[in-house]
Chain A
Amino acid sequence: EAQVTQNPRYLITVTGKKLTVTCSQNMNHEYMSWYRQDPGLGLRQIYYSMNVEVTDKGDVPEGYKVSRKEKRNFPLILESPSPNQTSLYFCASRTTPKSYNEQFFGPGTRLTVL
């Protein structure tokens, strides 16, 4: 089944404790993104990757890191989480950067930083 998977689905942590949210897609997609969704603000892009080893900042990159060592995986790293990073996070992928076709989303990770 074609899909984007994320783990964990739910996470409660404390300020400053490093965490990683994994993302994996099995569709051989080149373009991958991380979004956060907050009430009234919609989905905002954190980081994106146009292909392996090519990553760049989105709209709200502060406090986050990513890597793209393999085509299928795009982990999101919070080196020192803070309460303002409490949010619903989605990983997404689509075929290529130039093709604005359907974007597939993972099921989401609900993060709470205390």
Chain B
Amino acid sequence: RKEVEQDPGPFNVPEGATVAFNCTYSNSASQSFFWYRQDCRKEPKLLMSVYSSGNEDGRFTAQLNRASQYISLLIRDSKLSDSATYLCVVNTDTGRRALTFGSGTRLQVQP
């Protein structure tokens, strides 16, 4: 089982739609959670951190469910510029202090 699993998509949605992505992680000791955005052939960039109480940044809302070990990202009022791959990222509680990246969910927003 992968440490971080995501539905690869693609999710094809019209502009203005609301779309949600889920991600599950296997290490119950994980403490830090993030969503990164990656445009085609570019480097990943931090979209938002995910806090236990849930958090919102404009049109983006992130939720954490520790009991079920999943993280979600909700995008409201999708824009064409939201088209990208969204990476779920979790810390692995090992000596490496590593961040483990999911394979990503691809979103295509259509006019």
* Residues on A facing B (Cβ under 8 Å): 31, 33, 35, 40-43, 45, 48, 50, 56, 58, 88, 90, 97-98, 100, 102-103, 105-108, 110
A108 touches B101 (CB 8 A): no
* Residues on B facing A (Cβ under 8 Å): 4, 8, 31-32, 41-46, 87, 91, 96-99, 101-104
Known: A100-B32, A100-B91. A108 touches B97 (CB 8 A): no
DSSP majority for the B interface? loop
A100 touches B41 (CB 8 A): no
A41 touches B103 (CB 8 A): yes
B8 touches A45 (CB 8 A): no
A107 touches B42 (CB 8 A): yes
Listed A/B pairs (5) with beta-carbon separation below 8 Å: A42-B101, A50-B97, A58-B96, A100-B32, A103-B99
